[in-house]
Amino acid sequence: MSGRIYLRPTGFVDAPFGHDGKVARLAGGLQWFSAVEIVRENEAELVPVAGIEARLGDTEHAIWKRLTSVRPPLALGERVVRLDQPQVIGILNVTPDSFSDGGRFGDGEAAIGAGHAMAAAGAAIVDVGGESTRPGAAAVWEGDEAARVVPVVQRLAAGGTAISVDTRKAAVMEQALAAGARMINDVSALTWDPRAAEVAAAADCPVVLVHHRGPPEMMQDNPRYDRPVLLEVYDWLEERIEAAVAAGIDRAKIIVDPGFGFGKNLQHNLALMNGLAMLHGLGCPIMLGASRKRTIGALSNEAPVDRRLAGSLALALRGAEQGVQMLRVHDVPETLQALRVWRGLRDAALTPS
C-alpha cells in the first residue's frame, strides 16, 4: 500500500487479560482492540495488533501513539470532567425554532429549570445554544443570540453547573464566558467568525471543533464527498486542529466532533458511525451529537423528532463502544441509564475472576 495511511481500531475484546502484546487500549478508555484496519483511500488491510508497530513508518507511529494515549481530564473552571469513560453533555436550546424541541425552552425560566434538571440527572456539562443550526435555519443576529443565552448561562453557572456555550460568534462567546461558561462548542470549527479563534485562545478553555459542509441554510442540499466521507472528515478536522493550535489554542483542550447530520446524507452518517474509532488517531477527545437526528427517522419509518429516543440511545451506545468520550444528547436521564448498564457490563468484563 502507498499514499497516506489511516488507522482504524477494530476487533474489540471484552478484556485484555491473557492477551499480553495482542491487544491495545483505545485512548485510555474502557475498550481494548486486537486488530487494526490500515486504510488508504479505498484500500484496506486488516492486521493484528501483535507486531503492528514494526510495520509502521514514523508518521503512522505518531498516529498509533495518539490512538493509544490517555486523554487527560478537561478542566471547566473548578469542575473536572474525566475522559476515561463516556460523559453525557446535555443539550439546552434556548431558541424558538429548535428542530428537537420546537422552542420548548425558548423562555429563559423554562431553560434554566431544564438545565438544572439535566445537571441533577448527572450531565457532566450543559451545552447552551441560542441559534438553531438545523438544516435550513437562518442566522441569528449576535445581539439576539446573546440575549437568549447569557441570562441562562449566568444562572446555571451560579448554581454550580458546568456550562458550554454553543455558538459560532465571537461576541456571544465573550459574553457567555464572562457569564460563567467554561467551554466553547463551535459548529463552524472557528471558521465562521474571524475573531472566534482569538477569543477561544484568550479564554484558554476547552473548544469543540465540529465538522460541517456549508452553512446551516444549505448544508443538506445534496451533500457530496469526493473521497470516503470518513477520510475527508478526518483530514478536515486535522486541518482545523492545526489551525486552532496555530491560533494559540492548547491542543490538549481541543475536542473534535464529526458533525453527524451536518452536510451529510444518510449513508454518510452511517459510514461515520461505523468508523468513529479512526478519529481517535487525531489525538483529541471525541464528541458525538447524534441525538434525535434525521437519520434516526429515516431508518424508522419516518419517526418524528419526539419518537426518536430509542434510536438516539442506539447511536449513543454505538459511540461508547468505539471510545467516544462525550455524548451530546437531549434525553439525559435515559442516556445515562443506558450508559450505566453498558458500564456495568464493561466493569464485569474488566474484573478478573
pLDDT, tens only, 280-339: 999 999 999 999 999 999 999 999 999 999 999 999 999 999 999 999 999 999 999 999
Which DSSP letter does residue 305 get? G
What domains lie within the chain, and their CATH numbers?
6-68 (no CATH), 74-349 (3.20.20.20)
pLDDT tens per residue across span 14-40: 999 999 999 999 999 999 999 999 998
| Residue 158 in this model has a pLDDT that exceeds 90 | yes
Query: What is the predicted pLDDT for the residue at 1?
Result: 43
Residue written as grid cell 478553555: 205
> Coil, strand or helix: which one is 192?
coil
Provide the residue count of the chain. 353
Model confidence, pTM: 0.94
Residue 241, Ramachandran bin (φ over 0: left; ψ between -120 and 50: alpha; else beta): alpha
224, with CB counted inside 10 A (0-12, 13-18, 19+), is exposed
Catalytic residue IDs? 293, 328
Query: What is the predicted pLDDT for the residue at 213?
Result: 85
In sequence order, the β-bridge partners of residue 237 are none
B/e letters for 172-204, b = 16+ CB within 10 Å, e = fewer, are bbbbbbebbbbbbbbbbbbbbbeebbbbbbebe
Calculate the average pLDDT of the chain: 93
In sequence order, the β-bridge partners of residue 46 are 37
Query: What is the predicted pLDDT for the residue at 147?
Result: 95
Alpha helix segments (H runs only) across the chain: 58-68, 108-121, 142-158, 170-179, 196-203, 229-246, 266-274, 294-298, 309-321, 332-349
pLDDT tens per residue across span 187-244: 999 999 999 999 999 999 999 999 998 766 666 767 889 999 999 999 999 999 999 9
Find how far residue 71's CA is from the centre of its chain.
Answer: 14
Query: What is the predicted pLDDT for the residue at 232?
Result: 96
Query: What is the predicted pLDDT for the residue at 132?
Result: 82
Cell of 266: 444518510
Q: What is d(CA 117, CA 112) in angstroms, rounded to the nearest whole number?
A: 9
Query: What is the predicted pLDDT for the residue at 97?
Result: 55
Q: Which helix (H) or strand (E) holds 215?
A: none
